Amino acid sequence: MSTAHEPERLRWWPIATASVLAVTVVLTVLQFPFPGVRLALWRDPDALAAGQWWRLVTPLFVQYDAWWQIVVVFAVVAGTGLLVERVFGPAHLLLLYFTCGVVGQAFGYRWDPWDAGASVAAFGLLGAVSAWLLSPAGPRQVQVRIWGAVWPLAGVVLTVRGDMHGPPLLLGFGLGALLLWRDRRRHPDDRRPARAGTAA
């Protein structure tokens, strides 16, 4: 039976997060009985050099790690994705996820080839969450907001150390801050928590 609140529930359903996670879970599971799935998707410098440009994107869809690491990465994607999609909207969730993910994979080809995983995209989402934590729309508790500064600093350290998770974290922070700033410019009198994905 439909209710007056049904459209609101449907609007907040994290369809983008659920879709990305579902595809990644299925392909990750399939790689174990069918190793060819992983080989067709992961970072392959020779294949990329041969013109298979899609290998900048496809490594995001298969997590090649121990089971406990896979569970952790999927949990981070789900948690950060849910928050990012609620704050920025589904379209910007996909923009942040894949832009930061592709940048992370590009650095991965330089620093850690022959691998795959969605963790770089998750770190991009974490950067966007950090931007929100520091924004006027973020939580007011200092002990929570401080994490908005801690994670970008961690991104700098990771980048200096040659860890492929650093650049997407910093990019996610920058893109998230830009989206929030744009939303505030369009709605200067709106004091409610910003939801950048709703901007026209």
Residue 32 in any domain: the answer is yes
Report which secondary-structure segment, H or E, holds 21: helix 15-30
CATH of the domain at 63: 1.20.1540.10
The answer to whether the beta carbons of residues 188 and 174 sit under 8 Å apart is: no
- Domain of 182, in residue numbers: 6-198
Q: What is the pLDDT of residue 111?
A: 96
- Calpha distance 63→70 (Å, rounded): 6
Residue 1 in any domain: the answer is no
Average pLDDT, the chain: 90
Query: pLDDT per residue over 124-172, tens digit each?
Result: 999 999 999 999 989 989 999 999 999 999 999 999 999 999 999 999 9
Identity of the amino acid at 183: D
- Give every CB contact of residue 169 below 8 A, 6+ residues apart in sequence: 100, 123, 124, 126, 127, 151, 152, 154, 155, 158
Higher pLDDT, 129 or 188: 129
pLDDT confidence tier of residue 5, bands split at 50, 70 and 90: very low
Environment class of 117 (CB within 10 Å of its CB; exposed 0-12, middle 13-18, buried 19+): buried
Radius of gyration of the chain (CA): 18
Residue 58 in any domain: the answer is yes
